[in-house]
């Protein structure tokens, strides 16, 4: 076994690998950019090496710097995590040439599966079912358009060297093909350095089911069952679970055998994932097609660990060190059900736009480390809740890297128990700072389709009414939380004599205290807390009035009795901003200073601004152009994805304020739009 490894990644996967290495007594070396000097993964390792500027191309993708860091620190092996260099055959070969073990498959296997087109040709020759499509080398737009017409719409354009939804578009009409192809090729070039794409028939009710495979250098290969990753937005996974609901034992064995055959066909060694698209058949079974093979550990590997009781990173280390697989196929068993939710800094109600900013509050549900089986010979129940995070409270989500904050994994003896535990865990996850998808995830888990295991990649669109624009937390409950927190914060300042009290004490009659609360950018509410003659409290919000009782608990928690309801809430205050978390949701409010508020002015709504930090890719309209409301005007790239800016109204473009390639800050004015009459 190795005595020291370098982890060529960042965030939660670097922390995850470091945890297993520490348990095995292996020392670890972190790498970091200018943006990551104080990051959690740096603290999680025994030593760290600086490798460059914040942009990934200037640091985490600089293979020569990472290899030099491994050699300089005496690391015997490099674990690439996922993303960055994990599927780069040139880096794997450079490691081999330098005598440093690459903890992953050999370069030839990465190369064989790195191109979706080549991989599909290989699988077709091996008899694995393929989705009808075009996987050739000729990528001229005219040929691809003809092939799309031959296949039949809708079609899916996919980056041949890609993954994670980058360089991928569904196209429903021939008229839209050229624009979608150009966008895919731009994204593919930016993300993977290769603009080659393939075109396939779009399966209309697809399930995304993937098989975890493992192989060693001694000719052994096994599959560690499947994961269902059908719940996706923008072709990126949101919820993953194992085993896949409704998959028969016979189909599981068939898909597992196909995945193992795929691994053996390329001389695979290490952890890999063979991904399939499955669609229902008339008899209620599933027909499956090979999609791609990811030659690395997957983000969703914890659900496989949870149902098998195994540590897949330990398996990676042992196989890379030349050991045989710890178990054979007959020894592998499924125990219980596990679900993973990806918690990301993004705004679901704004098209899942990535968000940035400091994590001012970061509170996880009660959890313990995953209960791994030390001897890898039998299944042991894992902890019911696991959190894999690469950030800490106070850290910032920046535009330089992926928007994922953490992974929340739950395990249950069956799917129903896992669902209940996931809802409770999401309820107890409190994040204040950038927008997150926590509330969205909780609604997704509660949808009829997900609870009923009616899964396919269009689930989010099918359940749109239940997932977006959810009703806010009742204002009276949010106001009661603000009042309770304010009084609890003031309590230590109040002495025993009446002259030092701040609650409106008076010799005769009751007292009233006023709060001015604002929710979001509007919705202002006048709140009054009345102290009656007998000392009882009453809360008034607008025309409503409720008796109120409060009891402060540790860590910002409060036990409220509001009218007939008894509700536990947790409140976090950062200056004037107050966040109230209740079992049914959260509210973010501002305690308005009326004097300062009186001077605020309105913002001109005619300007177009960047919704997040990023880079301007292109303007789609030029000064002097007349544009219609909803017309695409500009494209920016942020968080590895392209985002299109649309006109909020009819008008004439007066001025473009940047040039292609320029960085833009969140809120930056991109162009000016005048009324059509002015033009």
User: pLDDT for 620-634, tens place per residue?
Assistant: 999 999 998 888 899
Task: Report, as ranges of residue numbers, the positions in the chain whose pLDDT lies below 50.
Answer: 370-380, 495-501, 595-606, 679
**Count of C-beta atoms within a 10 Å radius of residue 344:** 27
Residue 576: per-residue pLDDT: 84
CATH of domain 132-201: 3.30.1490.20
Residue 646: per-residue pLDDT: 84
Lookup: tokens for 286: 């599933």
Q: Where in the chain is the domain with CATH 3.30.1490.20?
A: 132-201
Give the Cα separation of 65 and 71 in Å (integer): 10
| Number of alpha carbons in the 13 Å side-chain half-sphere of residue 159 | 24
What CATH architecture applies to the domain 207-467? 2-Layer Sandwich (3.30)
Known catalytic membership, residue 146: no
Count of residues making up the chain: 679
Q: Where in the chain is the domain with CATH 3.40.50.20?
A: 4-103
Q: Where in the chain is the domain with CATH 2.40.50.100?
A: 607-674
pTM above 0.85, yes or no: no
Give the Cα separation of 552 and 613 in Å (integer): 40
CATH of domain 607-674: 2.40.50.100
Q: Where in the chain is the domain with CATH 3.30.470.20?
A: 207-467
Give the Cα separation of 259 and 211 in Å (integer): 7
4-103 fold: Rossmann fold (3.40.50)
> Could you check whether the bond before residue 578 is cis, i.e. omega within 30 degrees of 0?
no
Candidate list 207, 227, 252, 296, residue with the active-site label: 296
475-597 fold: Glycoprotein, Type 4 Pilin (3.30.700)
Residue 76: per-residue pLDDT: 98
Cα 223 versus chain centre, distance: 26
Residue 594: per-residue pLDDT: 55
Q: Are 21 and 1 in contact (CB under 8 A)?
A: no
Give the Cα separation of 318 and 315 in Å (integer): 5
């Amino acid at each position: 076994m190795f005595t020291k490894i370098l982890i060529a990644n960042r965030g939660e996967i670097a922390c995850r690998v470091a945890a297993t290495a520490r348990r095995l007594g292996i020392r670890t070396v972190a790498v970091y950019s200018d943006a990551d000097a104080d990051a959690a993964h740096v603290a999680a390792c025994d030593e760290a090496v600086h490798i460059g500027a914040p942009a990934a191309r200037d640091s985490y993708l600089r293979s020569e710097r990472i290899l030099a860091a491994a050699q300089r620190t005496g690391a015997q092996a490099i674990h690439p995590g996922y993303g960055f260099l994990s599927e780069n055959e040139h880096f794997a070969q450079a490691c081999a040439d330098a005598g440093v073990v690459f903890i992953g498959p050999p370069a030839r296997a990465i190369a064989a599966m790195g191109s979706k087109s080549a991989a599909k040709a290989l699988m077709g020759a091996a008899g694995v079912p393929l989705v009808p499509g075009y996987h050739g080398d000729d990528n001229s737009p005219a040929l691809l358009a003809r092939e799309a017409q031959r296949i039949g719409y809708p079609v899916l354009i996919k980056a041949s060297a890609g993954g994670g939804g980058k360089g991928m578009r569904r196209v429903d009409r021939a008229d839209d093909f050229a624009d979608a192809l150009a966008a895919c090729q731009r994204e593919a070039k930016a993300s993977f350095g290769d603009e080659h794409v393939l075109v396939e028939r779009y399966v209309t009710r697809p399930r995304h089911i993937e098989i975890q495979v493992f192989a060693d250098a001694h000719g052994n290969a096994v599959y560690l069952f499947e994961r269902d990753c059908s719940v996706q937005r923008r072709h990126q996974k949101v919820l993953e679970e194992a085993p896949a609901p409704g998959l028969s034992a016979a189909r599981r064995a068939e898909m597992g055998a196909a995945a193992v055959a795929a691994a053996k066909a390329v001389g695979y060694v290490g952890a890999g994932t063979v991904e399939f698209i499955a669609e229902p058949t008339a008899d209620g079974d599933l027909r499956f097609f090979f999609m791609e093979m990811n030659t690395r550990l997957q983000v969703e590997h914890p659900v496989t660990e949870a149902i098998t009781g195994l540590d897949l990173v330990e398996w990676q280390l042992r196989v890379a060190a030349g050991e045989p697989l710890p178990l054979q196929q007959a020894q592998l068993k499924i125990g219980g059900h596990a679900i993973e939710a990806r918690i990301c800094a993004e705004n679901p109600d704004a098209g899942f736009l990535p968000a940035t900013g400091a994590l001012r509050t970061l509170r996880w549900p009660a959890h313990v480390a995953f209960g791994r089986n030390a001897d890898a010979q039998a299944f042991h129940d894992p902890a019911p809740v696991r959190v894999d995070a690469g950030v800490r409270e106070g850290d910032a989500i920046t535009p330089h890297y992926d928007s994922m904050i953490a992974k929340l994994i739950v395990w249950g003896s069956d799917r129903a128990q896992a669902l209940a535990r996931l809802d409770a865990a999401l309820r107890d996850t409190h994040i204040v700072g950038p927008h997150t998808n926590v509330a969205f995830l909780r609604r997704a888990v509660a949808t009829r389709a997900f609870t009923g295991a009616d899964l396919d990649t269009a689930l989010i669109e099918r359940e749109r009414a239940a997932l977006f624009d959810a009703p806010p937390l009742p204002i009276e409950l949010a106001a009661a939380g603000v009042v309770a927190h304010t009084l609890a914060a003031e309590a230590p300042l109040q002495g025993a004599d009446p002259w030092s009290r701040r609650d409106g004490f008076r010799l005769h009659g009751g007292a009233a205290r006023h709060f001015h609360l604002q929710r979001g950018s509007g919705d202002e509410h006048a709140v009054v807390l009345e102290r009656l003659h007998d000392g009882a409290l009453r809360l008034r919000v607008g025309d409503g009035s409720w008796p109120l009782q409060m009891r402060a608990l540790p860590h910002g928690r409060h036990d409220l009795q509001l009218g007939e309801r008894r509700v536990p809430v947790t409140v976090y205050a950062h200056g004037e901003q107050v966040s109230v978390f209740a079992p049914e949701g959260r509210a973010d409010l501002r305690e308005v200073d009326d004097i300062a508020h009186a001077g605020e002015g309105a913002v001109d709504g005619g300007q177009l601004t960047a919704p997040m930090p990023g880079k301007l890719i292109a303007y789609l309209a030029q000064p002097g152009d007349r544009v219609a409301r909803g017309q695409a005007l500009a494209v920016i790239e942020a968080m590895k994805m392209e985002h299109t800016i649309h006109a909020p109204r009819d008008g004439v473009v007066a001025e473009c304020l940047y040039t292609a390639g320029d960085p833009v800050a969140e809120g930056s004015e991109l162009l000016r739009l005048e009324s059509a009459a002015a033009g």
